[in-house]
Structure 1
């Protein structure tokens, strides 16, 4: 702690704890002890420690448990709003992404999908449902649809890599996407897969991705745990 800094001590402590959680030095389930123990260990006042902990509890990174102390809950995922895969973003952030492929087959696409991909109504598409994990914790339930003749999608490859990385390896160059972000109560199946209570609020994303020839190559319908995930925007003033 830099006591000569104009930055408040509680903020310095909160940032150091948050960085330790993001880096994996403090893993989910780690105990920090109670406020009195922490204050004594760090040489800080109890109100300073309490304020730092409260700020991380409000962010969903810590939880107070009676008779136990303060415990790390999870590492959240903050994702920049750009055309990239969740797998690649998590790997770059050191969040140890994992994947469970729940469904991987060819099927006739629903009308919403064929319209988005510019395909005939009777077209067969690749349908892939995956559960994305961070350090073993579910973060997102991803449903993707691709033109059936675009590329092969082996289940093993989908479990060890991101979808966009597979597309790049097959010579598909992604150029742009049309995306909408929303929120709704999760279905029973979604909440069960994501480890959320029934009816929990989930973030939703619908995305149509295009290659460098302007061809729609992917339609995604994804849901994310609001308690584990956030989008990051950069806003500019229009002159």
Structure 2
């Protein structure tokens, strides 16, 4: 039996909302709650009190609070349980869309990354891999399959192809360090990349490995990275648990 822990009153202070801002009030409130969850000030399993009391503590209306909570429920950070109320289930990993590795991002955000190497072998490049790495189809490449954990939970199933003559990798290397760190240590620094982000449903094998239900939503990302001299360094094709992961883009007007 698990005990329910209520959020201490001092953990949630009134939100400084800007009522003149075009940003909706509920989103301002949701962002504040999300920050507290991601920082661990509201821990996994903590029970969020009823909307009336929470609205009073946040200094906003009940409808605003209700919509903010629903927003976080939809993002997979909160869950409503009959007879219990609203609970924190897990902080989602938010990853900036920039040239960094998942391992680097998890280390930066103190999410305790761990890697299980599922496969490390030499294969003949498929047409897709050959096109990405700018080599002839059938050329030998190093093929890597890894399961990346964050905070003890599986987060991403990762597949990478590396030119065979670029770097020699071991399972221990890949278990202890991120791929981009290993490339940098070998003198190959990723400087530019093309990246495509999408979504699809999990197949039976993926669902089992990622501890999701078959048909669960997965985020997909394929990427090819080059060094400053224009040499292709790696091709990656990864899937991420949409319930635990999102990409974050920062946009500005030119």
Shorter-normalised TM range: 0.7 to 0.9
Asked if the contact 1:131–1:139 (Cα under 8 Å) also holds between the matched residues in 2, the reply is: yes
Q: Work out the CA distance in 1 between the residues paired with 2:199 and 2:230.
A: 29
Q: State the Cα deviation string for residues 101-155 of structure 1 (Å, max 9, x = none).
A: 1111122222211222122333221111111111112221110000112112121
Aligned 1:193-212 pairs, distance under 5 A: 193-212=209-228
Q: Structure 1 residues 94, 45: closer, same or farther in 2, change over 3 A?
A: same
Residues 13-32 of structure 1 mapped to structure 2, 5 A cutoff: 14-28=30-44, 30-32=45-47
CA contact (8 A) 2:115 2:148 kept: yes
Structure 2 residue ranges without an equivalent (≥5): 1-12, 20-24
Deviation (angstroms), 1:85: 0.4
Displacement of 1:100 in angstroms is 1.4
Are residue 120 (structure 1) and residue 102 (structure 2) matched?
Answer: no
Alpha-carbon distance in structure 2 between the residues aligned to 1:67 and 1:119:
59
Moved more, 50-59 or 103-112: 50-59
Report the equivalent of 1:219: 235
2:198 corresponds in structure 1 to 182
TM superposition shift of 1:169: 0.6
Distance across 1 between alignment mates of 2:233 and 2:124:
16
1:33–1:68 contact (8 Å) kept in structure 2: no
How does the TM-score come out when normalised to structure 1? 0.85
Q: CA RMSD in A?
A: 2.8
Q: In structure 1, what is the equivalent of residue 8 of structure 2?
A: none
Task: Provide closer, same or farther for how the CA distance between residues 237 and 14 of structure 1 changes in structure 2, counting only shifts above 3 A.
Answer: closer
CA distance in 2, matches of 1:228, 1:161: 22
Distance in 2, Cα, partners of 1:69 & 1:152: 52
Q: How does 1:135-214 map to 2 (within 5 A)?
A: 135-214=151-230
3-state SS of 1:120 partner: coil
Structure 2 match to 1:84: 100
8 Å Cα contact 1:99/1:132 also seen in 2: yes
Tell me, in whole angstroms, the C-alpha distance in 2 between the residues paired with 1:11 and 1:43: 13
Measured in 2, the distance between the counterparts of 1:67 and 1:78 equals 31
Could you tell me whether the CA contact under 8 Å between 1:117 and 1:216 is conserved in 2?
Answer: yes
Report runs of 4+ in structure 1 exceeding 4 Å deviation.
5-16, 36-46, 48-52
Verify the 8 A CA contact 1:101 1:131 in the aligned structure 2: yes
Per-residue CA deviation, residues 31-73 of structure 1 (Å, 9 max, x unaligned), is 3154179659959799376454333223321101112332211
Normalising by structure 2, we get a TM-score of 0.81
Secondary structure of 1:174 counterpart: coil
